Amino acid sequence: MAIGKTASGQPRTLTRLLLDYGVLFAFVALFLFLAFRAEAFLTTRNQLNILDQAHQIGLMALAVTVVIIAGGFDLSMGAIFAMSAVIAAFVARDLEANESFASIAPYAGWVAGVVVGTLFGLLNGVLVTVLRINTFVATLASGIVIRGLALIITQAEQVRVQDERFQALARGGIGDINNTILIWLGFAILLTFVLTRTKFGRHVFAAGDNPEAARLSGINVNLVRTITFGISGFAAGLAGVISASKFMKAQNDMGQGLELIAIASVVIGGTSIMGGEGAVWRTVLGVLLLRLIENGFNLINVDTFYQDVFQGLIILFAVALDAMRHRRQ
Amino acid sequence: MTAEFVIQTRALSKRFFAVQALDNVEVAVRQGEIHALVGENGAGKSTLGKIISGIIRPDTGDLIVKGRSVAYASPRDALIDGITTITQEISLSGKQTVLQNVLLGQEDAHGGVLDFRRMQRRYDDIRALTGFDIDPQTRVNMLRMADQKKVEVMQAIARDAQVIIMDEPTAMLSGEETALFLKTVRHLKGMGLTIIYVSHFLREVLDLADTVTIMRNGQVVRTAPTRDETVETLVTAMLGKSVAQMYPPKRFSPPDAPVMLEVMGMQSSVFQGIDLTIHAGEILGLAGLVGSGRSRLVRTIFGAEDISGGSLRVGGAAFMPKTPQDAIRAGLYMLPESRKEQGLLLKQSVQLNITLPHLSDVTSFGGVIDSKRELHGIDDLIKALDIRVGSPTTRIRNLSGGNQQKALFGKWLFKRPKVLIIDEPTRGIDVGAKQAIYELIARLAAEGMAILVVSSEIEEVLGLCHRVLVMRRGQIVTELGEADGTLTEDNIMRAAFGTEAAQRVDG
């Protein structure tokens, strides 16, 4: 992406540049600041640590970027995260007890968790498109229902998995690079390709930009939107399964509020909450920016009490930038 | 500086970036008259109205109100002099009552507590003065459009308006409601108010106004009494040339040209038994008043509205348009009525907009877009349609209206359709782009495409089409042809108004 020029070929003003690439400047500035201020920051170990810790929010933020570009919103991701974790742990634990399935139990658990997450996501899509329920309300309500179901399934007890192989998803890796890093950055590359190079990607932008014009262009807008919710269900489910895999257990109250941090990361990246515009690389930077703040604050010994305030201010600032961009148009 | 002129402008100029919106404009409006401003889009009539009502400020020149030179900083300042505006859109709070709206900002209150009795008395006064019998306790959005316009007028009266600037007030009204509204305007004149009436409905203007000022490219062409003008003289002055020169010559398709679109007995929730056919090379027009069902009809054929029965054929092959996708697959495309609301993805590039309906033709395995193939087709189109754009990756919102409209044509010509429906081909674009689009449509027809044009501009229908169907209340009431000499403005108007014609003219 050319940074020096606008799409129309006119020279950029500094304001315009800041408005469009604010997240990039903020990220680079904070990165350099920490590189100079904190000795431990630039070590490979710390960098990999940052990337690893970003995987949960990363997966969900990437997926919800697609939902937001298509004109939707997803507040049920935290609940789907918990549900998928619980299902994965359940299946892995119960199949393990059954001799004929014991050999595949952990893998069946992973798959079951992700499939259930995807299905709940698609269900959200149906609520929003076929039943035409407002996307905030639909996913808020479905989130409450899904978390409630997780409570019923677990009876508020932890589901523990014994089979060590279950841990491989979260703890495995290539050399020093953890699977989690490969999964979420791989997901980012995949979604970038889908959004920028495929027919479906074009349809996602069209659905969010002007649904009526998209429909009159022969696009099945409801189907496109439903699939985007399927993607966010998939990602939330995968993140939940990874969490269950990491700790070898799951419970119904996991992942509370993760969806809000994920959405905040998208906004910080500069993807418009109005739909129709945005990019995956923005969300990657948005996610990492929040991680850098947390990591950096710890390294330079700032009281963690201030972190929330600082993160909140950054989100406010990002939303204000988005509003300014829209006023200028 | 005679007292008979309530508003005068002296050498008024206003520039918006590269566009000279007003250029040395001199207009004088008499006390108590209806003074119309006409001109093409971009001629400067709305800008002039906005300067008089304090919404924008001129760069140079004087605005003289009641003999006094003024410099309004906001509409509030203009209101103090009794100048107010009524626009095309209704600007009322729909969920509030008529009374609340009429007295908005003028409420009687004691220490913040509303005095309902006194407000009701004032409302009754206004009601008596205007003769508008509207229940003050009705919620505004329950009223018909013409009555909502009346509420806006009452609001203006409540604010002691002496001069009302009306900017395309009837654009959103149906024929019957327009007639009612025009009656209201005459009544206001009878009350001694001065009306500045901006409109592109020339008949309405000739019917209503005492004086008309014609504008072109930011300049005044002339101001004259309406009794000295006709539609033709107005159009010629507005365009700077006669209407006939705007349109390419009509080429008739051979009598044995195949039928490209055949609609027989089409049924839906609003249509009973619609029949029409278009031959290859033919331009068929669909005329009628706003609300007569023209757009709804073509949207139904395109699959964008419900359809319940009938037999439709495109290029001889039967098809049933349940969704736009069905129509597109069959080779029937439609340029929708509203470029911005239904046509374009404003946040996206020219490229993305143009290929959106045709992505299957430029994708390889798994829906991956082959950008070389895509760009190749687009470059050709940009050249062929003369779309003035630096690069296909430019955001489409940065283009002028005319170029956006050309890009919209490009979107539906990337792959050639058998039948092209064009709903309002030239709405809101300048004269030059209009002419280019007329030529394009004629060329496409000459190449064998069947074209269905919906237009509110009678001149356009007359100038472009071989044959015209006139609609009234969801039915096709008449067919007029160039070939048999029945295609005249008079015949279209008569068929479009039906029995309502007399009512409208009497107002």
Local confidence band at A1 (pLDDT 50, 70, 90 cut-offs): very low
Task: Give pLDDT tens digits for B277-306.
Answer: 999 999 999 998 877 899 999 999 999 999
B158 near B132, Cβ under 8 Å?
Answer: no
In a domain, A15, yes or no: no
Q: How many CB atoms lie within 10 A of CB A129?
A: 21
- Calculate mean pLDDT across residues B421-434: 84
Local confidence band at B1 (pLDDT 50, 70, 90 cut-offs): very low
B197 near B34, Cβ under 8 Å?
Answer: yes
* Domains defined for chain B, CATH in brackets: 5-240 (3.40.50.300), 246-343+417-506 (3.40.50.300)
CB spacing of A205 vs B345 below 8 angstroms = yes
- Mean pLDDT value across chain B: 89
With contacts defined as CB-CB under 8 Å, which chain B residues touch A220?
323, 325
Q: Which domain holds residue A138?
A: 23-33+45-328
pLDDT of amino acid A56: 96
Q: Which residue has the tokens 């002419």?
A: B435
Give the Cα separation of B9 and A90 in Å (integer).
Answer: 82
CB spacing of A209 vs B347 below 8 angstroms = yes
Task: Give pLDDT tens digits for B441-469.
Answer: 999 999 999 999 999 888 889 999 999 99
In a domain, A213, yes or no: yes
| Cβ–Cβ contact B302 with A under 8 A | yes
In a domain, A11, yes or no: no
Judged against a pLDDT cut of 80, whether residue A178 lies above it is answered with: yes
CATH of the domain at A214: 1.10.3470
Task: Give pLDDT tens digits for A105-163.
Answer: 999 999 999 999 999 999 999 999 999 999 999 999 999 999 999 999 999 999 999 99
Find the distance separating the first CA and the last CA of chain B, reported in whole Å. 35
In a domain, A155, yes or no: yes
The three-point CA angle B257-B262-B266 to 5° equals 165
* Count: domains in chain A: 1
In a domain, A119, yes or no: yes
In a domain, A7, yes or no: no
With contacts defined as CB-CB under 8 Å, which chain B residues touch A9?
390-391, 394
CB spacing of A218 vs B328 below 8 angstroms = yes
- Calculate mean pLDDT across residues A292-316: 84
With contacts defined as CB-CB under 8 Å, which chain B residues touch A329?
397
Task: Compute the count of residue pairs across chains A and B with CB atoms less than 8 Å apart.
Answer: 92
Task: Give pLDDT tens digits for B188-223.
Answer: 999 899 999 998 788 889 999 999 999 988 899 999
**How close does chain B come to A18, measured CA to CA in Å?**
19
Give the Cα separation of A260 and B227 in Å (integer).
Answer: 67
Give the Cα separation of A276 and B280 in Å (integer).
Answer: 38
Pick from A216, A219, A222, A322 the residue to mutate for testing the B interface (most B CBs within 10 Å): A216
B200: CB partners within 8 A, 6+ apart = B38, B40, B41, B168
Read off the pTM.
0.80
Pick from B295, B356, B360 the residue to mutate for testing the A interface (most A CBs within 10 Å): B356
A88 near A107, Cβ under 8 Å?
Answer: no
Q: Which residue of A has its CA nearest to B411?
A: A217
Touching A: B residues 207-246, CB under 8 Å: none
Judged against a pLDDT cut of 50, whether residue B506 lies above it is answered with: no
CB spacing of A202 vs B328 below 8 angstroms = no
In a domain, A38, yes or no: no
Task: Give pLDDT tens digits for B101-115.
Answer: 999 888 888 888 888
Task: Give pLDDT tens digits for A2-45.
Answer: 333 344 444 457 777 888 888 899 999 999 999 998 888 999 99
Query: Which member of B304, B356, B391 has the closest CB to residue A206?
Result: B356
Strand partners, B264: B311
- For residue A305, the SS3 value is helix
H-only helix segments in B115-170: 116-130, 145-158
Query: Which member of B327, B329, B390 has the closest CB to residue A8?
Result: B390
Local confidence band at A233 (pLDDT 50, 70, 90 cut-offs): very high
With contacts defined as CB-CB under 8 Å, which chain B residues touch A209?
345-348
The three-point CA angle B431-B437-B442 to 5° equals 130
With contacts defined as CB-CB under 8 Å, which chain B residues touch A215?
304, 324
Strands B28-30 and B60-65: unpaired
> Where are the extended beta strands (E) located within B130-185?
163-167
With contacts defined as CB-CB under 8 Å, which chain B residues touch A219?
325, 356
Q: Which residue of B has its CA nearest to A213?
A: B342
With contacts defined as CB-CB under 8 Å, which chain A residues touch B343?
213, 216
With contacts defined as CB-CB under 8 Å, which chain B residues touch A204?
none
Long-range contacts of B425-429 (CB under 8 A, 24+ apart): B425/B335, B425/B453, B425/B455, B425/B460, B425/B464, B426/B455, B426/B457, B426/B460, B427/B337, B427/B338, B427/B339, B428/B41, B428/B339, B428/B401, B429/B41, B429/B400, B429/B401, B429/B402, B429/B405
Q: Which residue of A has its CA nearest to B323?
A: A218
In a domain, A134, yes or no: yes
| Cβ–Cβ contact B29 with A under 8 A | no
Query: Which member of B324, B329, B367 has the closest CB to residue A215?
Result: B324
* ipTM greater than cut 0.90: no
CB spacing of A216 vs B334 below 8 angstroms = yes
